[in-house]
Amino acid sequence: QVQLVESGGGLVQAGDSLRLSCATEGRAFSTYAMGWFRQAPGKEREFVAAINWNSLTSYADSVKGRFTISRDNAKNTAYLQMNSLKPEDTAVYYCAAQKFVITIATMPAYWGQGTQVTVSA
């Protein structure tokens, strides 16, 4: 079992930056892929970014060049650095974990409770 706790959301203005953190409890963190997904009001949950067990990363086209996912295996924590935020980035952001690999088509096994990110124009 893997427990995930997100933090770092908030209300910012367009163009600002935020860093989300996802702290995990459980064994063998380094063998898990970590992902970030988001869900805006009235929309389906969508893939944002993932970092696999071997640190290979992938991003949704909408955030490429603005968001960076990373992990610190010593701290059992994953991060999402979000720069140049836009109002359309407003959503609840969820951290997720899955053994080894997360792709855009993956439905991860473990989820956090979500953290709200609101970007004002």
Residue 104 exposed, middle or buried by CB count within 10 Å (0-12, 13-18, 19+):
middle
From residue 99, how far is each of 2, 17, 53, 84, 94 by CA, in Å? 10, 29, 8, 31, 17
Q: What is the pLDDT of residues 80-109, one digit of tens each?
A: 999 999 999 999 999 999 999 999 888 999
Q: What is the pLDDT of residues 34-80, one digit of tens each?
A: 999 999 999 999 999 999 999 999 999 999 999 999 999 999 999 99
Q: How far apart are CA 111 and CA 58, in angstroms?
A: 18
Q: Is 107 helix (H, G, I), strand (E, B) or coil?
A: coil
Q: How far apart are CA 89 and CA 23, in angstroms?
A: 22
